[in-house]
A and B are shown apart, each in its own frame.
Chain A
Amino acid sequence: MSTFQIDFGESQSKIVGIDLGTTNSLVAVMELTGPRILSGIVPSVVSATETGEVIAGEQAREMLITHPEQTVYSVKRLMGRGLADVGEELKLFPFRLAKGSENVLQLRLGEKIMTPPEVSAHVLLRLKNDAEAALGEPVTQAVITVPAYFNDAQRQATKDAGRIAGLEVLRLVNEPTAAALAYGLDKRKDGIVAVYDLGGGTFDISILRLHEGIFEVLATNGDTHLGGDDIDHLLMNIALEEIRNEWDEDISGNPGAVQVLRRAVIKAKEELSFVPQTKIDLEFHGKRYQREMTLDVFDRIIQPIVDRTLGPCRACIQDAGVKVEEIDEVVLVGGSTRIPLVRSAVEKLFRARPHTELNPDEVVALGAAVQAGILAGDVQDKLLLDVTPLSLGIETMGGLVSKLIHRNSTIPASATETFTTAVDGQTNVLIHVVQGERELVKDCRSLARFDLKGVAPMQAGMARIEVRFLIDANGILNVTAKDLRTGKEQSMDVKPSYGLTDEQVEAMILESFDKAHQDLTERQVREARVEADAVMAAVEKARQEDAYAALNEAERAAIDRAINELLVVYHSDDHTLIRDKIDGVDQATQSLAEAIINSVAERALKGTKIDD
């Protein structure tokens, strides 16, 4: 049958919204009716098989128990972090570091060694593939969410993960802000909204002002190492102790057993959001451990974790310059906000009953899709004005920090400083950029060192180099420098304190890009074959119709020939070839199809008459 070739001109592919979570990840897209989740929840677990294949999602989660040494989870906790600041993580999580982890962490998954951005890239790739399957078109651009309290290095690492997965990351959007977008609270009325987001591994609190579709973040605070994982560890420690007494065996050194236990405590934890009493129940190598757990006891165990969220909340309210009474609505985000104690703590602090209408697991991805719609120009009436969570400064004499951009400044934000030389003939100026609220460099987070090179030698203090620090809408720092004497751009070397260099990211991309391409091709071939099956089945069915008997010899031969040609290419790896031959069958059966449609219509008309 004839097909219409319509040229849409600059028809553009869809931008997807991705929630890259500590525990689970999701992809969504904006449609005319609103944001829609494109696939099921994908566990943020990645496993490398013996054959060198890397898998992500449910299957990888199963591998946690069967092949714990080859599998990693909660890798978000390691994004943009250095060896020095993951000590706590390594005690609690079964991360196995490989040699050469000084600058960028290298994780061991069986034989394979991967950096945290690469691991995350495999989760992203899986989401990308799911989205492509659901949309039936390639996906190349995305909005990815990050915890609002993520620093520059953590954001950069997330962006790198996107690039490695073959995605152009058009925007990093803060998770609580995304949730506010998803709730569409702006539709109801203008006002002040607080978003409390307690996920698997991170905690964020943001306070926003809503005004005619503008979502202006007033302040944000949080803890990038606080979440449901910490609750699991408390419960696991109790159980490990009891198991040691009951079984006379320490299973903490057995990764498989630890994962069985982890799963059992998570199950109990989740049940306690709905029932007042449950059991931690597990079996390992024929031995059984059972422990009653009431909500009262559970609440007492997790109280310290819940309390740790309250300090950031109070600081955020103060920074936002609002009174608690002025906050009109509170939104709960993240799986851990299903816990009754968390809900009551939030209710008590904000003196308002929190919103829980949207699924806390999905709301961030839905919001990311709305932001994607804003970027695509499909959503015109909303605009997000977000802030940088941490102050940006430079190192000055004596290891002190001079702040250039303060925390909670609306982004993009910029600051300009003029630098000069300290000794005669100096040709380099070194600038150390840090992030954090403390006065001393050693208490802040080192971001990068910028080496302004090739300064013309002259007397000390004569050089004038203007450096512009700009935090972009993703919350990522960009630095440019200009020699004020010549007006020329000043060249510089950038040494990020943590994270991958551009070259490293580039090298990682090709690898997974090829794989992504291969995955896409495979799917297209599979889809073409499915269609070929359907076409051939339809033709076989049509041969029973009177209309087929009415065809002349030549017409029947043409159909047989077209079917044969389709069968010949059916097992090829070229989906365009298969589609080509499907078209051939379509053309050969055109008059037959018309005849059948006519007879069906005739029958239907007759049917109508009988019914009347």
Chain B
Amino acid sequence: MQYYEALGLEPKLALDAEDLQKRFYERSRKWHPDRFSRAPEVERQRALDITALLNDAFRTLRHPVPRAEYFLSERGIQLSKDVPPELLEEVFELNMALEEIRGGDESARPQLDSARERFAGMQAEIDSGLVDLFDRHDAHGDRATLDEILASLNRRRYISNLLRDVVALTNDKELNVHLSN
């Protein structure tokens, strides 16, 4: 888990945002290429490599979702691209509404707005659920919790794609954007 190492951290899912920022700034002050502009080539290259890793690490770990994705992938667990089964019906109805709008039937438009709200609500729910799951996994380090996190992340990724498409559609009268499955 080199991203955690780069910031001098134990690999935990729950991280304190302020502490993370502080560590990032401290290490940036020490290793940024600006501090080595007149140093020998070897040292310059080293500073560049360390800082690039540090920046990549901070960018990945600062937000819970990419952090958890990184954590899982380092454990050899990949996110799935399938539609989470519990969302199948939702997606089916949404596609119907979109077909109607494409066919010129504007009466389905309010459905888009409510779908948008629903998806945003689901996303917020998953996010708050992740907080608990992170704490639980950090305490027990069990595979079952990790699987739950994986399921949440799969669901979240799919919902955020749906949300992005619905937002694009509500903003786009031409309706030339397709829902991606």
Which residues in A have some Cβ–Cβ distance to B below 8 Å? 12, 170-171, 211-212, 214, 216, 371, 374-377, 383-385, 409-415, 470, 472-473
Interface residue B133 (Cβ < 8 Å from any Cβ of A): no
Query: How many Å lie between the Cα of A451 and that of B21 in the bound state?
Result: 39
> In the complex the two chains form, is B55's CB within 8 Å of A170's CB?
no
Number of interface residues of B (CB under 8 A): 18
Partner of A171, one of B28, B37, B51: B37
> In the complex the two chains form, is A410's CB within 8 Å of B34's CB?
no
B25: chain A residues at CB < 8 Å are 211-212, 214, 216
Query: How many Å lie between the Cα of A414 and that of B32 in the bound state?
Result: 14
A384: chain B residues at CB < 8 Å are 34
Using A212-B25, A214-B28 as known contacts, say yes or no to A413 and B34 having CB atoms under 8 A apart. no
> In the complex the two chains form, is B38's CB within 8 Å of A414's CB?
no
Query: How many Å lie between the Cα of A385 and that of B25 in the bound state?
Result: 9
Partner of B34, one of A171, A212, A414: A171
> In the complex the two chains form, is A374's CB within 8 Å of B34's CB?
yes
Q: List 22 A-B contacts (CB under 8 A).
A: A170-B37, A211-B25, A212-B25, A216-B25, A374-B34, A375-B34, A375-B38, A376-B37, A376-B38, A377-B35, A383-B34, A409-B55, A410-B58, A412-B33, A412-B51, A412-B55, A413-B56, A413-B59, A472-B48, A473-B32, A473-B34, A473-B51
B29: chain A residues at CB < 8 Å are 214, 383
Query: How many Å lie between the Cα of A12 and that of B32 in the bound state?
Result: 21
> In the complex the two chains form, is A383's CB within 8 Å of B32's CB?
yes
B58: chain A residues at CB < 8 Å are 410
CB distance from A169 to the nearest CB of B (A): 11
**Closest Cβ neighbor of B22 among chain A residues:** A211
Query: How many Å lie between the Cα of A377 and that of B37 in the bound state?
Result: 9
**Closest Cβ neighbor of A209 among chain B residues:** B21
Query: How many Å lie between the Cα of A384 and that of B28 in the bound state?
Result: 9
> In the complex the two chains form, is B55's CB within 8 Å of A410's CB?
yes
Interface residue B79 (Cβ < 8 Å from any Cβ of A): no
Interface residue B52 (Cβ < 8 Å from any Cβ of A): yes
Query: How many Å lie between the Cα of A376 and that of B36 in the bound state?
Result: 9
Query: How many Å lie between the Cα of A415 and that of B53 in the bound state?
Result: 10
Chain B at the A interface: SS class: helix
**New A-B contacts (8) at CB < 8 Å, excluding given A211-B25, A413-B52:** A375-B37, A375-B38, A376-B37, A383-B28, A385-B28, A409-B59, A412-B48, A472-B48
> In the complex the two chains form, is B38's CB within 8 Å of A411's CB?
no
- Chain B window 18-47, contacts with chain A (Cβ cutoff 8 Å), 1 for yes, 0 for no: 000100010011001111011000000000
B48: chain A residues at CB < 8 Å are 412, 470, 472-473
CB distance from B24 to the nearest CB of A (A): 9
B37: chain A residues at CB < 8 Å are 170-171, 375-376
Query: How many Å lie between the Cα of A167 and that of B159 in the bound state?
Result: 52
CB distance from A10 to the nearest CB of B (A): 9
Query: How many Å lie between the Cα of A415 and that of B29 in the bound state?
Result: 22
> In the complex the two chains form, is A414's CB within 8 Å of B28's CB?
no
Query: How many Å lie between the Cα of A473 and that of B35 in the bound state?
Result: 12
Query: How many Å lie between the Cα of A212 and that of B26 in the bound state?
Result: 11
CB distance from A43 to the nearest CB of B (A): 30
CB distance from A69 to the nearest CB of B (A): 42
> In the complex the two chains form, is B59's CB within 8 Å of A412's CB?
no
B56: chain A residues at CB < 8 Å are 413-415
CB distance from A403 to the nearest CB of B (A): 13
CB distance from A535 to the nearest CB of B (A): 38
B51: chain A residues at CB < 8 Å are 412, 473
CB distance from A163 to the nearest CB of B (A): 17
**Closest Cβ neighbor of B39 among chain A residues:** A377
> In the complex the two chains form, is A470's CB within 8 Å of B52's CB?
yes
CB distance from B26 to the nearest CB of A (A): 10
A385: chain B residues at CB < 8 Å are 28, 32
> In the complex the two chains form, is A414's CB within 8 Å of B53's CB?
yes
**Closest Cβ neighbor of A409 among chain B residues:** B59
Using A214-B25, A413-B52, A414-B53 as known contacts, say yes or no to A472 and B38 having CB atoms under 8 A apart. no
> In the complex the two chains form, is B38's CB within 8 Å of A377's CB?
yes
Give the most central of B21, B28, B33, B34: most A CB within 10 Å.
Answer: B34
- Chain B window 79-115, contacts with chain A (Cβ cutoff 8 Å), 1 for yes, 0 for no: 0000000000000000000000000000000000000
Query: How many Å lie between the Cα of A472 and that of B47 in the bound state?
Result: 11
**Closest Cβ neighbor of B53 among chain A residues:** A414
Q: Which 10 A-B pairs have the closest CB atoms?
A: A412-B52, A375-B37, A414-B52, A410-B55, A473-B33, A412-B51, A374-B34, A170-B37, A214-B25, A413-B55
Give the most central of A212, A216, A410: most B CB within 10 Å.
Answer: A410
A470: chain B residues at CB < 8 Å are 48, 52
**Closest Cβ neighbor of A170 among chain B residues:** B37
**Closest Cβ neighbor of A372 among chain B residues:** B37
Query: How many Å lie between the Cα of A414 and that of B60 in the bound state?
Result: 12
**Closest Cβ neighbor of A406 among chain B residues:** B59
B32: chain A residues at CB < 8 Å are 383, 385, 473
Query: How many Å lie between the Cα of A410 and that of B56 in the bound state?
Result: 8
A413: chain B residues at CB < 8 Å are 52, 55-56, 59
A371: chain B residues at CB < 8 Å are 34
Query: How many Å lie between the Cα of A383 and that of B36 in the bound state?
Result: 12
Query: How many Å lie between the Cα of A375 and that of B34 in the bound state?
Result: 5
B52: chain A residues at CB < 8 Å are 412-414, 470
